[in-house]
Amino acid sequence: MAEKSRERSSAAQEVLDAPGAPVVVFDHVSLAFDEKVILKDVSFTLISGHTKIILGASGAGKSVTLKIILGLLAADGGVVWVNGERVDQLAEEDMMKVRADLGMVFQEGALFDSLTVRENVGYRLYEESDMPLPVADRRVEEVLGFIGLGEFMDRMPSELSGGQRRRVAIARAMASKPKILLYDEPTTGLDPITATTVDDEIIKLRDLENVSSIVVTHQLRDAFYLATHTAVKENGTIRVVPADAQKAEQAEFMMLRDGFIAFEGDADELRHSEDEYLKKFLS
């Protein structure tokens, strides 16, 4: 019975699938660990197909925000909607269904170090789906090809460089074709050239696979790169090129500070902000 009432009406599904639908909604969310208040009052909305770039100093609560979306942490107050489901009160079993549409790239990759690259990338397909083995294998190869790491299939994560590990983590997150991808500092600790290859993957996924994404970073270079570039497919080859103004508007910036959202707007507004803290952060 409970199962039945959870099912979504076709009308509701249509609204969710339409362009401009809100896929992640934070409504006055708060969270504290013991005495330490991390999020005081955070509200934002991620629109389908858009990119939300969350900036903030270390310890500002960026990772915590992503973990609340995934249901890995429970908020103390406020309401969280993910993909049309209210998740802030959801039990772990019910949360698993919501997570099927979510992909997460953890801060350090969080690859399973006892599994090969192939097993990592295909984890969800092999372990948590009824997908026949050959189909899953093909999908893993396709995803690793997309990310340009086809020949590393049988390596262990410990045999990869930092940049390769991040890309494998992205491959793992995208393998089951989620609608929403969450990236936690995907380029932190990488040199600028490697960071750009990771950014390109994020852009390709967003523009060619049409996923909505939330990117947490404190590297402005990468944030602006993501906002101002787009991926295009021209006779079979994928290229990342500077985006037009309309595309750039689909990347929304937001700055977390002291438990509140200190800034919300697009790349231009962020660049020209008069706020002292933002200026310091930007310089």
Ligand X SMILES: Nc1ncnc2c1ncn2[C@@H]1O[C@H](COP(=O)(O)OP(=O)(O)O)[C@@H](O)[C@H]1O
Assess 104 for contact with another protein (CB under 8 A): yes
CA dist 169 and 123 (Å) reads 11
Rounded least distance, CB 42 to Mg ion, Å: 15
58 binds, among another protein, Mg ion, ligand X, none (CB under 5 to 8 A by kind): ligand X
- Nearer Cβ to ligand X, position 3 or 92? 92
Amino acid at 185: E
Place of tokens 């993957």: 201
142 binds, among ligand X, Mg ion, another protein, none (CB under 5 to 8 A by kind): none
60 binds, among ligand X, Mg ion, another protein, none (CB under 5 to 8 A by kind): ligand X
**Do 215 and 54 contact (CB within 8 A), yes or no?**
yes
Query: What number of other Cβ atoms are within 10 A of residue 261's Cβ?
Result: 18
Rounded least distance, CB 184 to ligand X, Å: 7
- Number of shown-chain residues binding another protein (CB under 8 A): 22
- Nearer Cβ to another protein, position 111 or 147? 111
Convert residues 12-51 into a mask of x (bound to another protein by CB under 8 A) and - (unbound). Answer: ----------------------------------------
Assess 228 for contact with another protein (CB under 8 A): no
- Nearer Cβ to Mg ion, position 63 or 230? 63
- Nearer Cβ to Mg ion, position 48 or 63? 63
Assess 108 for contact with another protein (CB under 8 A): yes
Place of tokens 């896929």: 23
Assess 63 for contact with Mg ion (CB under 5 A): yes
- How far is CA 164 from each of CA 68, 89, 144, rounded to the nearest angstrom? 27, 36, 11
- Nearer Cβ to Mg ion, position 26 or 152? 26
- Nearer Cβ to ligand X, position 60 or 105? 60
Assess 124 for contact with another protein (CB under 8 A): yes
Which residues of the chain form contacts with Mg ion (CB under 5 A)?
A: 63
